[in-house]
Amino acid sequence: MTKVIIISAPSGTGKGTIIARLMAEHPELRLRFSISATSRPPRGVEEHGREYYFFSPEEFRSHIEAGDFLEYEEVYQDRYYGTLRSEVERISNEQGHVIFEVDYVGGLNIKRVYGSNALALFIKPPSLDELRRRLEHRATDSAEVIEERLAKAAEEIKHAEEFDLVVVNDDLDQCVDAVYQAVSSFLKD
């Protein structure tokens, strides 16, 4: 039976890196990444269907109206993120377990849908000051966008305790190991 792993964290906390390492270092877990959909433009070398399914805001709204999403949210004005139902079906057909990289609202919604077949993990930054440093170092957002992300992060962190497990990403190797231990244990049950 396909199980669901949910990784939620504020932007810049390292959830993408953690997931990439978990999948690369532990193929025995049979984790398959659920590619999210978004209305934001691609960054750098991102490609449609690899990192995200990129849609215009209008296309995204059409998918909403068609009922194509398991969950979705308008994170910022005209900036949507969501999980296509077809992604879960695709991974289930591959005999894998689904790993989601979603914000806290999406994570909690997916957890409600899958119940005990889902493990919801929240990755927390060591502090908002450290998160600011990481976002500035990433150099992909304007100062205004960074402030928006920090305000959103403060709100997201308030909901961390609603998840099955909270892991602080203070040291990447330790964080990846803690996530691996939790996921491995969950998949064995």
Domains of the chain: 4-188 (3.40.50.300)
Q: Of the given ranges (46-60, 101-115, 127-141), which has the lowest mean pLDDT?
A: 127-141
Q: Is the pLDDT of residue 20 over 90?
A: yes
Q: Is the pLDDT of residue 136 over 90?
A: no
Residue 64, helix vs strand vs coil: helix
Cα–Cα distance, 70 to 79 (Å, whole number) = 17
Q: Model confidence over 34-93: pLDDT tens digits?
A: 999 999 999 889 999 999 999 999 999 999 999 999 999 898 889 999 999 999 888 989
Alpha helices in 98-168 (DSSP H): 104-114, 128-138, 143-157
Instruction: Tell how many helices (H) and how many strands (E) occur in the chain.
Output: 7, 9
Rounded to the nearest integer, the mean pLDDT of the chain is 93
Cα–Cα distance, 161 to 123 (Å, whole number) = 11
Phi then psi dihedrals of residue 142, to 5 deg: -70, 165
CB 135 within 8 A of CB 141: yes
